[in-house]
Amino acid sequence: MTTPNNIPFCAGPVLDTHAPKFEMPENACDTHFHLFPAGNEHALTPRRSYTPPVADMDMYNTMSERLGLSRGVLIQPSVYAEDNTALVAATAAAPDRLRGVVTVTSAVTDTEIEKFHAAGVRGIRVNIVDSGGMPFRDLEEAWDFTSRIAGLGWHIELLAHVEQIEDIDAALSRSKVPVIFGHLGYTKTSIGVANPGYQRFLGVVKEGRCWVKLTGAYRISDRDATPYDDVMPMAAALLAANPDRLVWGSDWPHPRHPGVMPNDGALLDQLADWGADADIRQKILVFNPERFYGF
């Protein structure tokens, strides 16, 4: 494993997770978490932008049980590039409650894709923001690749700054599978809801043309700690636009976060803070993930 000196190490997650302030519905799902098991350091790509702490399934289970989460979606982190070994091992071991989203290149074989599907994988991730996360030459190649996974009912998860996508209508039309965007669209609160690019994004959400993860509020906030009140306008705008296209995720163990490490209970509490009542939370935490990930 190559470990260049300029690649920063990440802090670990908060371990004393507090329970959410609202009653959790049955079959609640965390649609975005990562694993960095001990012994998998050899899989770290030298082109990564951070070095993660050890964060294994036992640690995650302790956190998720405290929050009342019984389902989860494991997301391939950029630091492993296209080595999905740890992810597939975890999802295959818990097929009733876990799904996975892998990172692949266009060279992946149909046989490999079928093996991923059998292990609980239901989508591919394209991260054009973090080093090591973009497996295709460009987004056009990624859109072309979606034709290979359409028959499996997969989706494509895109981590991008949505306000920078000038023609989001055309981009979404290129995909042969559903598209989901991470981190509320990954637009900084300093840019704001009124930004024309973010307004275009809200428009396609309202039309039901894409899905959005209510994740990583700390990644777009100017605040150093919860409750990240400056995220409220964006979250409220998404809730108003189309709650049937929203899901929630913890982003545990919060890699590459330089600020105060958030308590996952506080991150879950934000759903109520943002104005999602019990019925809307039922959609975001249960019904929407069931439809999207095939639980």
Q: What is the pTM of this model?
A: 0.96
> What values do phi and psi take at 36, rounded to 5?
-135, 75
Query: In the structure, what pLDDT confidence band is assigned to residue 5 with cuts at 50, 70 and 90?
Result: low
| First-last CA distance in the chain | 36
Between the CA of residue 265 and those of 66, 80, 189, what are the distances in Å?
A: 8, 27, 22
How far apart are alpha carbons 95 and 49 in whole angstroms? Answer: 31
Tens-digit pLDDT profile for residues 103-121: 999 999 999 999 999 999 9
Supply the pLDDT for residue 106.
Answer: 96
Between the CA of residue 293 and those of 118, 144, 213, what are the distances in Å?
A: 14, 22, 13
Supply the pLDDT for residue 62.
Answer: 98
pLDDT of 131 above 90: no
Residue type at position 8: P
How many residues are present in the chain?
Answer: 295
pLDDT of 206 above 60: yes
Tens-digit pLDDT profile for residues 152-201: 999 999 999 999 999 999 999 999 999 999 999 999 999 999 999 999 99
Supply the pLDDT for residue 133.
Answer: 73
Average confidence (pLDDT) over 243-264: 96
In this structure, are residues 154 and 122 in contact, taking their beta carbons and an 8 Å threshold? yes
Question: Which residues, listed in sequence order, are joined to residue 156 by a DSSP beta bridge?
Answer: 124, 179
Sheet holding 98-102, edge to edge: 29-33, 71-75, 98-102, 121-127, 155-159, 179-181, 211-214, 246-248
In this structure, are residues 187 and 199 in contact, taking their beta carbons and an 8 Å threshold? no
Domain 29-293, CATH number (from 3.40.1280.10, 3.30.70.660, 3.75.10.10, 3.20.20.140) = 3.20.20.140
Q: Give the pairing type, strands 179-181 and 71-75.
A: unpaired
Reference 36, options 63, 70, 74, 6; nearest CA is 74
In this structure, are residues 14 and 263 in contact, taking their beta carbons and an 8 Å threshold? yes
pLDDT of 280 above 80: yes
Question: Which residues, listed in sequence order, are joined to residue 230 by a DSSP beta bridge?
Answer: none
Is the Cα dihedral 274, 266, 33, 225 positive or negative?
Answer: positive
> Could you tell me the two tokens for 268?
């879950």
